[in-house]
Amino acid sequence: LQGIFVLGLPYALLHSGYSGLFLIILAAALCCYTGKILIACLYEENEEGQLIRVRDTYEEIANACCKKLSPRLGGIFVSVTQVTELLMTCVLYLVVSGNLLSHSFPSVPAAERTWSAIACLTLLPCVFIRTLKSVSKLSQLCSLVHFMMVLVVLTYCLMQIQQWSWAKFRLSIEFEDFLVSVGVIIFSYTSQIFLPTLEGNMRNPGEFRCMLNWTHFLACVLKTTFALTAFLTWGEDTKEVITDNLPSSLQTLVNLCLLTKALLSYPLPFFAATEIVFVLISGGNHSNYRRPLFALAVRGSLLLLTLLMAMFIPHFALLMGLTGSVTGAAMTFLLPSLFHLNLQWNKLSFLEKCADISVFILGFLCSLAGIVCSIKGLLEAFR
C-alpha cells in the first residue's frame, strides 16, 4: 500500500486540485471494500451456518463463477492477468533500479541497461524463496526504508512551512490530466492480487478485516499528509517524482533509499508470480512443483524474463500505464465486485448489491479512460 506510486501523489494533486484530496480518501475506502468482498468469496456457509474456507486463491474464485462455461476458464483468465501485472511490476522495479543507479553514479560509464543487469544480479537469491514468511521479512525492511525516505521528504517540507500557501491549489482542472491523477491515486492502493494468499497465511485469519481497515486508514493518512505537505512546498513546480524537487545534497540519499526499496519490493510480486505459474504448469498436479530443480528452473527463467523486458521494452512507462489500466482495474474493482455478486447474490442486501454494481461501473470507467490515455500517449511517443 506504500509503493513507489506514493512519490507521484504530489504531482497528482497538482493536476487534480482539491478533488485529489477527496480521491485519496475515496480510493482507500473502495480498495478496502473490494479487498473484503474478494476474501468473502473464499468462504461458504456449512449446514450449521458456519463460514468455511472452501477456496484458497483468486483463481478458484474465478473457476467457481465460470464453472457453467468451463471448469478452468475463469482461473486461467485470472492467472494470466495476475502474472502479467506481477511481472510488469517486477520489470518496473528493475527499470527504476537502473535509472537510480545511473543517476547516483554519473561518473561511471555505464548505461541504464547495464545498471539494471547489475541490480538483477543482487536479486538472484529470489530463486530460492519458497515461503511467504521469507518475503514478509524483506517487506518489513522495505517498509522501514520507505518510512525513512518519506521522513526525509516531510522533514524538508516542514522546514519550508513559511512558504506554504493554499492558493497553490487549482480549482479548475484539465480532464485528461485529471484522469492521470485518478490512475496514480487508485493504483497506489492496489493489493488485491496478494490478499487471498495473505489471508490464508495469517496466523489468525479472523483478524483480516480489522487488519485491512487499519492498513488502509493509516495508508490514507500517510498519503494525504505526504502529498499535501509536498505540494504546498513546491506548488506549480512539483515534478512527476517528488524527490526530483529536493536539493542535490538530499537527492543522493533519497535515491539510494529508493533503490533499496525497489530491490526489497521485487521479491513479493516475483514470489506471487512464480506461485501462479507453478499452478498453471502443473495443472493441479503438484508433484513437479516440489522438485527443487524444476522450481529453480522456473524461478530462474522468470527472473531472466523480467531482466530482458527491463532492458529491451521501449516506452516502458506508457506500457506500464496501459497494463495497469487493463489488469489493475480488473483485479481491483471489476472482478471482485463481479465475483461477489455472482457467488453471494442471494445473501446480499439491496444496498450491498448497489455498492458492488457501483464499484464495477466506476472500475470500468476508470479502466476505459486509462486505456484511452495510455494508447494516446503510446501513439504520440512512436511518431
**Cβ contact 257:149 at 8 Å:** yes
Bridge partners of 45?
51
State the pairing for strand pair 43-45/51-53.
antiparallel
**78 or 168, higher pLDDT:** 78
Q: How far apart, in whole angstroms, are the C-alpha atoms of residue 247 and residue 53? A: 52
In Å, the largest CA–CA distance within the chain is: 70
Spatial neighbors of 71 by CB under 8 A, at least 6 apart, are 63
Cell numbers of 68, please? 457453467
* Model confidence at 284: pLDDT above 60: no
Which of 14-23, 182-191, 221-230, 243-252 shows the lowest mean pLDDT across its residues?
182-191
Q: How many CB atoms lie within 10 A of CB 292?
A: 9
Q: If 0-12 CB within 10 Å is exposed, 13-18 middle and 19+ buried, where does residue 50 land?
A: exposed
Q: DSSP secondary-structure letter at 42?
A: T
Tell how far CA 264 is from the center of its chain.
14
Range of 1-5, 63-67, 109-113, 372-376 with top mean pLDDT: 63-67
Tell me the pLDDT tens digit for each residue of 295-350.
888 899 999 999 998 888 755 555 666 666 677 788 888 999 999 999 999 999 99
Spatial neighbors of 379 by CB under 8 A, at least 6 apart, are none
Cell numbers of 132, please? 511467504
Report the domain count for the chain: 1
Q: Which helix (H) or strand (E) holds 53?
A: strand 51-53
| Percentage of the chain exceeding pLDDT 70 | 90
CATH number for the domain harbouring residue 252: 1.20.1740.10
pTM attached to this predicted model: 0.81
What was the pLDDT predicted at 363? 84
Q: Using alpha carbons only, what angle is made at residue 380 by residues 378 and 382, rounded to the nearest 5 degrees?
A: 70
* Model confidence at 383: pLDDT above 80: no
Which alpha helices (DSSP H) does 160-247 contain, by range?
175-187, 195-201, 208-234
Q: Band of the pLDDT at 175, cuts 50, 70, 90?
A: confident
| Mean pLDDT on 148-173 | 83
Residues in the chain: 383
Cell numbers of 63, please? 473457476
Residue type, 232: L
For residue 192, give Cα distances in angstroms to 5, 39, 158. 16, 9, 34
Which alpha helices (DSSP H) does the chain contain, by range?
9-16, 18-40, 58-65, 73-104, 112-122, 132-159, 175-187, 195-201, 208-234, 248-265, 267-282, 292-312, 316-323, 329, 335-344, 350-381
What was the pLDDT predicted at 303? 94
**Cβ contact 13:20 at 8 Å:** yes
Q: If 0-12 CB within 10 Å is exposed, 13-18 middle and 19+ buried, where does residue 284 land?
A: exposed
* Model confidence at 66: pLDDT above 80: yes
Q: How far apart, in whole angstroms, are the C-alpha atoms of residue 115 and residue 353? A: 50
Structural domain boundaries enclosing 23: 4-382
Q: Find, among 300, 298, 342, 315, the residue nearest to 125 by Cα.
A: 300
* Model confidence at 37: pLDDT above 90: yes
Bridge partners of 43?
53
